[in-house]
């Protein structure tokens, strides 16, 4: 196994929520601590960051949008529901507020509102692509003018799971809701050029991240165009395209993937939730939490993805020493000597009969036996069932929710998978994951605290045959 060395670790004192690898290496925390190079600021809780090529840094918070230049604050724009996400590329960025509304901004601070709501995904490339919760995908100019809209498929709707640009081609990953049989249930990827559908193919697995020709899969794995080139065990939430290779975040690792598989992996102390890189991959920042409330916050890690990989050095431990310990030599007399008799070991003195009352009492105890089935009809019915007939369970995450937040800007939500169909009691695991693929609970019913904004949570169940079923729920907190 190969890896690349960590160049530097930046200490944190709270959970990291945003990164930026630009002119200055920057990161933000949930407590409002903002680090830009050697400078520090204290603002409200940070949600996202993006830096334009001219060095203007956008910082989204629960209060609004801060701008910084040359490590000094240069502006602030209030957002009533806060800034949820900032997605950018070169001189264009898209801001998503807490209600899922989008606006386009450039380095000069010019802002154009986009007539979209409940925005789920945004990709900035040749134009600005926006996917909404309803399944609509539209493209806008860098000045907020609508260019074209992808027609939705199926009478029962669909869900967009990821969008991204591959040069001038918009790549759209979608899934049907599966309410009726037919092609609309398929998990598919589509390629669009200037509003025209060029190609569509069935991937059979959910795509959750796209950048260039690279795609990350929900159940683990990396695709290059329509071919799976690497298998991973966890969701691939972030893909960074570098042409002949990509960087992919998965669980506690950042992987370098080429067309012939994994080249190296860097393991971090926290789950890789945020990755930011310069255009060449020389400065790659990695951040995330280990999801353990009893440990200190994990550092932000800096690596250079262009350096030569080296073998992973396995640290020795006391377990390793056991295999190298010398054999203990002992002769037969010492091992089987008769200094201690069997009677002594059993606590029995010679010439004296042992007390067998306890043994006799045990033998005289009434033996409990299983009672046979009283109802022979039930037994015959059970024997007559076809053992090969298996009814697979179907996940049910419950209905969508709309909740008013409390004074602290959060709300407690109950996630309930009790309506899951499991007639043969085949479910062996439950998993609730957020829209980044991070598991938040392994219980059927759980209460979570969510901030203001639109959240999409997914219930995943696995049965005895390792087959998965999933269902999602949208929760809006105002």
Domains observed in the chain: 8-114+268-312 (2.130.10.10), 401-477 (2.60.40.10)
Secondary structure of the chain in the HEC alphabet?
A: CEECCEEEEECCCCCEEEEEECCCEEEEECCCEEEECCEEEECCCEEEEEECCCCCEEEEECCEEEEEECCEEEEEEECCCCEEEEEEECCEEEEEECCCCEEEECCCCCEEEECCCCEEEEEECCCEEEEECCCCEEEECCCCCEEEEECCCCCCCEEEEEEEEECCEEEEEEEECCCCCCHHHCEEEEEEECCEEEEEEECCCCEEEEECCEEEECCCCEEECCEEEECCCCCEEEEEECCCEEEEEECCEEEEEECCEEEEEEECCCCCCEEEECCCCCCEEEECCCCCCCCCCCCEEEECCCCCCEECCCCCCHHHHHHHCCCCCCCHHHHHCCCCCHHHHHCCCCCCCCCCHHHHHHHHCCCCCCCCCCCHHHHHHHHHCCCCCCCCCECCCCCCEEECCCCCCEEEEEEECCCCECCCCCEEEEEEECCCCCEEECCCEEEEEEECEEEEEEEEEEECCCCEEEEEEEEEEC
- pLDDT score of 217: 95
Closest CA to 127 of 98, 175, 163, 79: 163
- pLDDT score of 314: 58
- Is the model's pLDDT at 345 over the cut of 50? no
Per-residue model confidence as pLDDT tens digits over 47-59: 999 999 999 999 9
Q: For residues 131 and 433, which has the higher predicted lDDT (pLDDT)?
A: 131
How far apart are alpha carbons 310 and 5 in whole angstroms?
8
Q: For residues 315 and 433, which has the higher predicted lDDT (pLDDT)?
A: 433
Please state, rounded to an integer, the average pLDDT across all residues of the chain: 85
- pLDDT score of 334: 56
Average the pLDDT over each of 2-11, 118-127, 240-249, 419-428 and give the range with the smallest value.
419-428
Percent above pLDDT 90 for the chain: 57
pLDDT band, very low/low/confident/very high, at 158 (cuts 50, 70, 90): confident
- Pick from 64-68, 330-334, 338-342, 394-398 the range whose average pLDDT is largest: 64-68
- Pick from 67-71, 343-347, 357-361, 387-391 the range whose average pLDDT is largest: 67-71
């Amino acid at each position: 196994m190969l890896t690349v060395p960590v160049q530097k670790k930046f200490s944190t004192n709270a959970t990291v929520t945003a990164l930026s690898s630009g002119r200055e290496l920057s990161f933000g925390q949930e407590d409002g601590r903002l680090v830009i190079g050697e400078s520090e600021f204290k603002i409200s809780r940070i949600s996202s960051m993006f830096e334009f090529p001219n060095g203007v840094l956008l910082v989204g918070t629960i209060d609004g949008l801060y701008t910084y230049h040359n490590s000094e604050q240069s502006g602030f724009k209030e957002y009533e529901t806060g800034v949820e996400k900032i997605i950018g590329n070169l001189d264009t960025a898209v801001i998503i507020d807490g209600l899922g509304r989008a606006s386009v901004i450039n380095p000069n601070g010019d802002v154009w509102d986009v007539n979209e709501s409940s925005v789920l995904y945004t990709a900035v490339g040749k134009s600005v692509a926006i996917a909404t919760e309803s399944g609509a995908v539209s493209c806008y100019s860098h000045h907020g003018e609508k260019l074209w809209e992808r027609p939705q498929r199926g009478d029962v709707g669909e869900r967009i799971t990821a969008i991204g640009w591959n040069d001038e081609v918009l790549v759209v990953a979608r899934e049907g809701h599966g309410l009726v049989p037919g092609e609309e249930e398929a998990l598919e990827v589509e390629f669009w050029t200037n509003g025209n559908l060029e190609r569509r193919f069935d991937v059979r697995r959910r795509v959750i991240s796209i950048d260039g020709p690279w795609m990350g899969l929900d159940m683990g794995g990396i695709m290059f165009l329509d071919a799976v080139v690497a298998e991973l065990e966890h969701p691939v939430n972030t893909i960074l395209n570098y042409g002949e290779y990509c960087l992919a975040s998965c669980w506690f690792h950042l992987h370098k993937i080429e067309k012939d598989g994994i080249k190296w992996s860097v393991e971090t102390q926290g789950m890789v939730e945020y990755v930011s890189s310069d255009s060449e991959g020389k400065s790659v920042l990695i951040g995330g939490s280990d999801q353990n409330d009893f440990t200190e916050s994990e550092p932000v890690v800096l690596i250079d993805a262009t350096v030569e990989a080296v073998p992973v050095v396995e640290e020795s431990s006391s377990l390793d020493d056991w295999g190298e310990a010398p054999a203990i030599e002992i002769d037969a007399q010492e091992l089987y000597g008769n200094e201690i008799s069997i009677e002594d070991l059993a606590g029995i003195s010679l010439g004296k009969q042992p007390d067998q009352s306890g043994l006799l009492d045990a033998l005289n105890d009434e033996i409990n036996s299983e009672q046979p089935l009283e109802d022979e009809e039930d037994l015959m019915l059970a024997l007559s069932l076809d053992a090969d007939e298996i009814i697979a369970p179907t996940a049910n995450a419950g209905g969508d929710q709309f909740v008013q937040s409390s004074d602290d800007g959060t709300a407690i939500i109950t996630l309930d998978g009790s309506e899951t169909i499991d007639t043969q009691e085949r479910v062996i695991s439950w998993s609730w994951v957020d829209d980044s693929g991070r598991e938040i609970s392994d219980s059927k019913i759980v209460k979570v605290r969510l901030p203001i904004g639109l959240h999409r949570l997914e219930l995943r169940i696995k049965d005895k045959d390792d087959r998965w079923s999933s269902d999602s729920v949208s929760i809006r907190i105002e």
